[in-house]
Structure 1
Amino acid sequence: MSTQLNHYAETQHRDYHLRLLRDFIQQAQQQPPFIEEDCPEDDLEFLARLEALPRAHQDEDFLYRGQQVLSRVVAAYGHLVPLLHRDLLWYFGGDCLHYMPDEEIAKYQLLDERRHEAIAEGREFSYEHERAKVFGLH
């Protein structure tokens, strides 16, 4: 198996999710309470944690921090949940999986199995293309 191909697949996977995260952040920044002139300090602190998350993708505790932030989105900012891409719940895992039905989890598990299988066999793998197939978007 090519180490270069493995690195490419992992980078592609990470970058896809970081793009989704950045898109979510951009959308969340335009929503209440963050756009309010008198936005509470607690909300501003949360927004700062959310905004800092993509820059921390190489930190050891990145996934755990992501779980904490996304769990807070669901618990405290329900109006933002429709803006939150489901892939992010799977990517960060842990407590975030509580917000996903079993059928959805099974599809993400299949997607991950296909990704790891392709990497193990040294085949190219497009996460976005395979995701579309698994979720019936093609």
Structure 2
Amino acid sequence: MISDYHPFHLNLLKVAYNNLLRQEPFCHEELSENDAQFQRQLTDLVQAVEQQSGDYIESGQQILSRLVRHYPELVPLLPRDLFWYFGGECLHFMPDDEIEIFQRLDEQRYEAESAGEPFHYEEARAHILGLH
């Protein structure tokens, strides 16, 4: 059954990418080698997630962890959903109550997919987060 899980997270990543590139230090033409490397890795991650190629989950974990460590002032521009999506070390940056919310969402998604029913991730997420 088709789910909007992956496209939803890809869209979040693209929005975060665009927002990050508008911020210091990435908004400058000349970047330090570290900043330029991070920007390239972020660009490559968006393409890899879009194509679901390579080990994009592991790459995402590494890049988000690097963002938290080296650019903590930019973390608020990153939707919390992406920490869950990439998982692994990224889960260390999430409080337990937030993890529980995303676990419930995943359980609902797996139940629907197992039953062959459609699952609208964005709607279920909005419901659980009380956005409706």
- Following superposition, the deviation at residue 37 of structure 1 comes to 4.1
Does 2:100 correspond to 1:100?
no
- Following superposition, the deviation at residue 35 of structure 1 comes to 1.7
Letter aligned with residue 73 of structure 1? L
- Following superposition, the deviation at residue 36 of structure 1 comes to 2.6
Letter aligned with residue 92 of structure 1? F
Q: Distance in 2 between matches of 1:63 and 1:16?
A: 15
Aligned to 2:31: 39
Question: What CA deviation, in whole Å up to 9, does each residue of 1:30-54 have, x standing for no partner?
Answer: 1111123442011011001001112
Q: Secondary structure at the match of 1:53?
A: helix
Letter aligned with residue 112 of structure 1? D
**Structure 1: tracts of 5 or more residues without a match:** 1-5
Q: Distance in 1 between matches of 2:104 and 2:122?
A: 14
**Structure 2: tracts of 5 or more residues without a match:** none
- Following superposition, the deviation at residue 60 of structure 1 comes to 3.6
Q: TM-score, normalised by structure 1?
A: 0.90
Q: Distance in 1 between matches of 2:100 and 2:80?
A: 13
Q: CA RMSD in A?
A: 1.0
Aligned to 1:16: 8
Q: Distance in 2 between matches of 1:64 and 1:20?
A: 18
Matching residue within 38, 48, 52 for 2:40: 48
Residue correspondences, number:
130
The structure having more radius of gyration, on CA atoms, is 1
Q: Distance in 2 between matches of 1:136 and 1:95?
A: 27
Does 2:62 correspond to 1:68?
yes
